A and B are shown apart, each in its own frame.
Chain A
Amino acid sequence: ILSEDDFYDALSQT
C-alpha cells in the first residue's frame, strides 16, 4: 500500500 503518511518515532512521554 502506498502510504503518503509521514511517520515519526513515538514518544514514551509527551
Chain B
Amino acid sequence: ANMSKLEQILILDPPTDLKFKGPFTDVVTANLKLMNPSDKRVCFKVKTTAPRRYCVRPNSGTIDPGASINISVMLQPFDYDPNEKSKHKFMVQTIFAPTTITDTEAMWKDAKPDELMDSKLRCVFELPSE
C-alpha cells in the first residue's frame, strides 16, 4: 500500500515520465529538475526499480527553501528492443529536513511513514526515428 500520506512538496519537471532518446549504444542522460516551493529545507533521495541500469547524480541531498536542483539520470548502454516497453520506474522520496541533520542515514531509517512523501516517474525509451 502507498505508505505516504503527505502530498509531495517538491515540484518535479518532468512530473511523470523520464524520456530517454536513443540510440542506446552509449550512455543516454535524462534531466529531472526538483523545485522546492516551500519555506522549509527538504531532503530527497532517488530510488529506482533498476538500480544497475542507471547512474543518478546527485542521488540524494537537501534542497533549500525556494531553490531547485537538476538531477542527471544516466541510462547505461544496452541492447534496445523496440518491442520491449520499459518497465523501469523512479521514485523521488522526500522528507522535511529536521533542524539539525546529524546522520542522514539514520534520518531516513527513523523516518515515520506519514512523514515521507514520494513521487513516481516512468521511464520512456524513444529512438531518434520515432
Q: A1-B2, A3-B120 are in contact. Are A11 and B47 (CB under 8 A)?
A: no
* In the complex, chain B residues 36-67 whose Cβ is within 8 Å of any chain A Cβ: 45-49, 51-52, 54-60
The binding surface of chain B is classed by DSSP as strand
> Do A10 and B56 form a contact, CB below 8 Å, given A2-B2, A5-B89?
yes
> A1-14: which residues lie under 8 A (CB-CB) from chain B?
1-3, 5-14
Q: Report the bound CA distance from A9 to B79 in whole Å.
A: 24
B56 near A12: Cβ-Cβ < 8 Å: yes
Cβ-based interface call for B111 (8 A)? no
Tell me whether A9 and B45 are in contact (CB under 8 A). Answer: yes
- Apart from A3-B89, A14-B54, what are 14 other A-B pairs with CB-CB below 8 Å? A6-B49, A7-B89, A9-B45, A9-B47, A10-B45, A10-B48, A10-B51, A10-B59, A10-B90, A11-B51, A12-B55, A12-B56, A12-B58, A14-B76
A-B contact pairs, 27 of them (CB 8 A): A1-B2, A1-B120, A3-B89, A5-B49, A5-B89, A7-B47, A7-B49, A7-B89, A7-B91, A8-B47, A9-B46, A9-B47, A9-B51, A9-B59, A9-B60, A10-B46, A10-B51, A11-B51, A11-B55, A11-B56, A12-B55, A12-B56, A12-B58, A12-B59, A13-B55, A14-B52, A14-B54
Interface positions of B (Cβ within 8 A of A):
1-2, 45-49, 51-52, 54-60, 76, 89-91, 120
